[in-house]
Structure 1
Amino acid sequence: MQHFPIFLSVAGRRIVLSGGGEAAMAKLRLLLKTEARIAVYADAPHADIEKLGLEGKIILTRRALRRGDVLCAALFYAANEDDAEDARVAAIARAEGALVNIVDNLEDSAFITPAIVDRDPVTVAIGTEGAAPVLARAIKADLEERLPVTLGLLARVGKSFRHAVETLPLGRKRRDFWADYYFKAGPKAVEANGAKGASAALEALLDQHIMTAQKEGHVDLVGAGPGDPELLTLKARKALDEADVVIYDRLVSREILELARREALMINVGKEGFGPSTTQDEINRLIVEHAAQGAHVVRLKAGDPTVFGRLDEEIEAIEDAGISYRIVPGITAASAAVAQIGQSLTKRGRNASVRLLTGHDMKGFADHDWRALAKDGEVAAIYMGKRAARFVQGRLIMHGANPDTPITVVENASRPESRVLSTTLAELEPALSRSDLHGPAILLYGLAPRHAAEVLTSLDLKEAAQ
């Protein structure tokens, strides 16, 4: 992000614009929505700019900008549609302490003007850092359709009532009040009786919330999916938006963590195979402790919490504490990985079942029914299998598995940095070691990628090693 988005206070402050043509008028249409004092300098101003000056909406000076004209200005716009003149006036403005924007000159501008959706005092600013103005306009058009015109009225009424709401305790209690107002009682009252109805609804709603006891704590056990935020379920996104506390695993992607409420307490309890880890007892204690204090806790797990997520241990701790909970499933890594290689976990005439296995458990490398898995046509998704690969390879070959059985290793399934290694049971090691995979990976036993493009193969690795 090269431009840091802020909302600058300009009420009563000067904004200076140099230019009198169409580009200047385009900027004025936006600037006139503010409460700033707007000064325009132009030799030959557009007729519409002349009219604004006569109406007193701007201070129009019919000459080119000079030194001293930008003193005490918060912002300055160079819109002369002449590169040399824009450069001249921009130099004056910088010297006199204003933030400078030169129309259609991103590199020499200190700030950019975003596309704006105006529901005063609710303002949505959309920027693409100059890369895609057409995209910004498309997003603006979409938001204009989605946001009701009454939103600004609700926000203005709510703003005037904020001091009264301070009688409610900070946190979940106060947030529930505002959610009820903006999404339930407020819109209904405005539709029925306008601004007066919204004010009356606020007073009645506050009395109701004052008399209502603090909600008890709750825990959502949420699957974050394989990492792509677009694969997160709607229910999971809603839980993150409402959470007071988010207790998350190491493998949950940064993009998904950023979907949580900014005010939420974020607690990293990441576990790392054969490395430093937060104990399960400590995780259980944190979940119960925060929920017992009335917080809405989201226990955020990579993938699906019902698949190798130690879900039962956390549920038992929650139930023992008498706290309500809900399980929000997510897309498991096996589903994301097999979709990425263009295959399916089951196929008519090949396999009527699929095994989800773990490469190691609490006691070390996990043992399974290797003889059954070694039969032709069997398919398995092996989680946490990188470190156990040699063990798995040895057990399967020892029990009669075909050495040419395909194995596909998918690292960081669904993420932009994902890599796919296509190999066989016989070549799994040393191919896996040569591939230098560092991220979380899942082994798909019995499946090869449908298409070879952009797939790292055992042959590639052999050639690279030579």
Structure 2
Amino acid sequence: MQHFPIYISLTGERVVVAGGTEAAVAKLRLLMKTEAVLEVYAAQVHAAIRDWAEAGKLRLISRSVEASDLQGARLAYAAFEDEAKDAAFAALARSKGVLVNIVDNLHDSQFITPAIVDRDPVTVAIGTEGAAPVLARAIKADLEERLPYRLGLLARVGKAFRNRADVLPMGRNRRDFWRDYYFGKGERQTAQANPLSIENELEHLLQKHLDAPEREGRVDFVGAGPGDPELLTLKARRLIDEADVILHDSLVPLEILELARREALIIETGKRGYGKSIAQDDIHSLMIEHAADGAQIVRLKGGDPSVFARLDEEIDALDAAGIAWSVTPGITSASAAAASSGASLTRRGRNTGLRLLTAHDTEGFADHDWQALAREGEVTALYMAKKGARFVQGRLLMHGAKPQMPVTIVENASRPDERRIVTDLSNLATDLDTLSLDGPAILLLGLSPRTSSETLTHPTREEIAL
């Protein structure tokens, strides 16, 4: 991010525009929405600027701008549409410590003016760092259609009522009140376009929240899916947005955590086969402690909470403490890996079942019905298998699996840095050692992808002999 988005107060502040071109007209249309004191310096100006000056919307000074004119100004715009004149004015503004924007010159500007959706006092600013103005306009057009024109009225009445709502405790109680207003009662009242009616509804709503019992803490187990934020369910996104506390495992990427509110407490509770990990009992204690304080907690787990995620242990701890909970499923990595490979996990005539297995458990390498897994045509999704691949390979070969059994290794399924590697059972352990995969990987035993993947080639016995 090269430009940090902020909102600058311009009430009573001077903004200097140098130049009277069409570019100046475009900037002034936006600036006149503010409460700034606008000054335009130009010998020749567009007719619209002259009309605005005559209407008292801005001051027009028909001469070149001088250094003293910039003293105390908050912002400056160079709008001559002449490279030399714009550069000279920008240098003058910078010498006086005034932030300057050169119209249509991102590189030499100190700030940019984004595309704006205006529902005063609600404003949405859209910037693309100058990379894609057409995209910014498309987003603006989309938001213009989505945001009702009465949204400004709703916000203005709400703003005037803020001091009254301060009788509610800080935090969730107050947020629940405002959520009910903006997305419920108040939104319906704006159809009447009557501020007094909306304010009366706010009084009734406030009393309702004052009389309501204190909300008890709870835990929502939420599946974050394999990593792509677009694969989150709608319910998962809502719960993440509403959470006071998020306890997440190490498989949840930053892009999903950024969906949380800025005020939410975010705690990593990751478990790793090596390196720093948090004890399971400590996770239980964190959930119970925050829920006892009335927090709405999201226990955010990669994939699906019910697949190799210690869900039962954590539910047992909550039940023992008398804390309410619910489970919101997510897409498990086996489904994501198969989807990106274009392969079906089940297929008529090939396999009548699918196994989801882990390569190790709390006691070490997990034991399975290896003879069943070794049968030709069987498909198995093997989780957490990087360290146990050699053990799995040996057990399968020992129980009759063909060395040519196809194996698809999918690292970081669904993410931008996803890798798919095609190998076979005889080379599985060696290839995993060679690849040195850093991200979470799942093995699809007995399954070949239908889309392009990295295929590892291995020498034949004859080639080795040569």
| TM bin (shorter chain) | over 0.9
Alpha-carbon separation, structure 1, partners of 2:77 and 2:9: 17
8 Å Cα contact 2:421/2:453 also seen in 1: no
Kept in 1, the 8 Å contact 2:219–2:297? The answer is yes
Does the 8 Å CA contact 1:422/1:458 hold for their aligned counterparts? no
Report Cα offsets for 1:254-293 as digits up to 9, x if no partner.
Answer: 0000001111111111111133321111111111221121
Distance in 2 of aligned mates of 1:389 and 1:358: 11
CA distance in structure 2 between the aligned counterparts of 1:65 and 1:172, rounded to whole angstroms: 52
Deviation per CA, 1:5-50: give whole Å up to 9, x if none. Answer: 1111111101111111111101111111010001101111011111
Corresponding residue of 1:367 = 367
Counterpart mapping for 1:319-338 below 5 A: 319-338=319-338
Partner Cα distance (2:283, 2:179) in 1: 30
User: C-alpha separation between the residues in 2 aligned to 1:458 and 1:218?
Assistant: 52
Shift of 1:454: 4.7
Q: In the alignment, is the contact (CA less than 8 A) between 1:17 and 1:24 conserved in 2?
A: yes
Secondary structure in 1 aligned to 2:298?
Answer: strand
Any idea what SS the aligned residue of 1:375 has?
A: coil
Q: Secondary structure at the match of 1:80?
A: coil
Name the residue aligned to 1:392.
392
**Cα separation, 1, equivalents of 2:248 and 2:56:** 57
Deviations 1:37-96 (A, max 9, x none): 011011110111111111110110112222222111111111111001100111111111
In structure 2, C-alpha distance between the alignment counterparts of 1:190 and 1:449, rounded to whole Å: 54
Distance between the aligned counterparts of 1:381 and 1:458, measured in 2? 23
Q: Find the counterpart in structure 1 of residue 212 from structure 2.
A: 212
Q: 8 Å contact 1:419–1:456 — kept in the other structure?
A: no
Conserved? CA contact 1:14–1:75, under 8 Å: yes
SS at the partner of 2:357? strand
CA shift at 1:178, angstroms?
0.5
Provide the secondary structure at the position in 2 that maps to 1:404. Answer: coil
Separation of aligned partners in 1, 2:433 and 2:188: 62
Give, in whole Å, the separation in 2 of the partners of 1:310 and 1:365: 17
| Cα 1:459–1:132 shift into 2, 3 Å | farther
Contact 1:126 1:136 in 2 (8 A): yes
Matched AA of 2:377: G
Does the alignment pair 1:446 with 2:449? no
The residue number in structure 1 matching 2:456 is 457
Structure 1: which amino acid aligns with 2:291? Answer: A
Q: How far apart, in 1, do the equivalents of 2:64 and 2:457 lie?
A: 70
Pair 459,450 (structure 1): closer, same or farther in 2 beyond 3 Å: farther
Show the counterpart of 1:34: 34
Partner amino acid, structure 2, of 1:13: E
Q: Which ranges in structure 1 are unaligned for 5 or more consecutive residues?
A: none
State the SS of the aligned residue for 2:93: helix
Deviation of 1:190 (Å): 2.3
Distance in structure 1 (CA, Å) of the matches to 2:36 and 2:257: 38
**TM score, norm. by length of structure 2:** 0.97
Question: Would the aligned equivalents of 1:245 and 1:265 in 2 still touch at CA under 8 Å?
Answer: yes
Q: 2:105 maps to what in 1?
A: 105
Q: How does 1:66-465 map to 2 (within 5 A)?
A: 66-192=66-192, 194-451=194-451, 453-459=452-458
Quote the Cα distance in structure 1 between the aligned partners of 2:4 and 2:259. 19
Deviates more, 1:141-150 or 1:246-255: 141-150
**1:430 corresponds to which letter in structure 2?**
T
Give the match's secondary structure for 2:181. helix
- In the aligned structure 2, how far is the partner of 1:457 from the partner of 1:388? 20
**Structure 2 portions without partners, runs of 5+:** none
In 2, Cα distance between equivalents of 1:77 and 1:348: 68
| C-alpha distance in structure 2 between counterparts of 1:448 and 1:54, whole Å | 75
Per the TM alignment, residue 456 of structure 1 is displaced from its structure 2 partner at its CA by 4.5
The one-character-per-residue Cα deviations of 1:126-183 (angstroms, maximum 9, x if unpaired) are 1000000111111111111111111111111111111111111111111101011111
Query: Structure 2 CA distance, aligned partners of 1:275 and 1:82?
Result: 59
Counterpart-to-counterpart distance in 2, 1:393 and 1:415:
27
Structure 2 counterpart SS, 1:203: helix
The DSSP-based 3-state class of the residue aligned with 1:76 is: strand
Deviates more, 1:363-372 or 1:192-201: 192-201
* Equivalent position amino acid for 1:419 in 2: R
Matched residue SS, 2:74 = strand
Aligned residues with identical type, % of pairs: 61
- Match of 1:125, SS state, is strand
Q: Evaluate the alpha carbon distance shift between residue 72 and residue 456 of structure 1 in structure 2; reply closer, same or farther with a 3 A threshold.
A: farther
Q: Alpha-carbon deviation of 1:219?
A: 1.2
Q: Do 1:358 and 1:366's aligned partners in 2 also have CA atoms closer than 8 Å?
A: yes
Counterpart-to-counterpart distance in 1, 2:455 and 2:86: 53
Counterpart residue type for residue 259 of structure 1: L
Give the Cα–Cα distance (whole angstroms) in 1 for the partners of residues 458 and 36 of structure 2.
Answer: 67
Residues 361-412 of structure 1, C-alpha deviations (whole Å, 9 max, x = no match) = 0000111000000000000000000000000000000001000001011111
Q: Measure how far apart 1:459 and its partner are.
A: 4.2
CA contact (8 A) 1:409 1:420 kept: yes
Q: Which one is further off, 146-155 or 389-398?
A: 146-155
CA 1:456–1:254 in structure 2 vs 1: closer, same or farther (change >3 Å)? Answer: farther
CA distance in 1, matches of 2:414, 2:246: 23
Measure how far apart 1:450 and its partner are. 1.4
**Structure 1 residues 63-72 or 20-29, which shifts more?**
63-72
> Could you tell me whether the CA contact under 8 Å between 1:41 and 1:64 is conserved in 2?
yes
181-190 vs 2-11, which moves further: 181-190
Shift of 1:458: 4.2
User: Compared with structure 1, are the counterparts of its residues 391 and 458 closer, same or farther at alpha carbon in structure 2 (3 Å cutoff)?
Assistant: farther
CA contact (8 A) 1:250 1:268 kept: yes
Match of 1:378, as an amino acid? E
Task: Out of 322-331 and 242-251, give the one that drifted further.
Answer: 322-331
> Which residue in the other structure is 2:5 paired with?
5
Once the two structures are overlaid, the 10-residue window that deviates more, 209-218 or 386-395, is 209-218
RMSD: 1.3
Q: Compute the displacement of 1:335 (Å).
A: 0.5
Q: Residue type matched to 1:12 in 2?
A: G
Q: Counterparts of 1:423 and 1:164 in 2: how far apart (Å)?
A: 66
Equivalent AA in structure 2 for residue 404 of structure 1:
Q
CA contact (8 A) 1:431 1:458 kept: no
Distance in 2 (alpha carbons) for counterparts of 1:93 and 1:423: 63
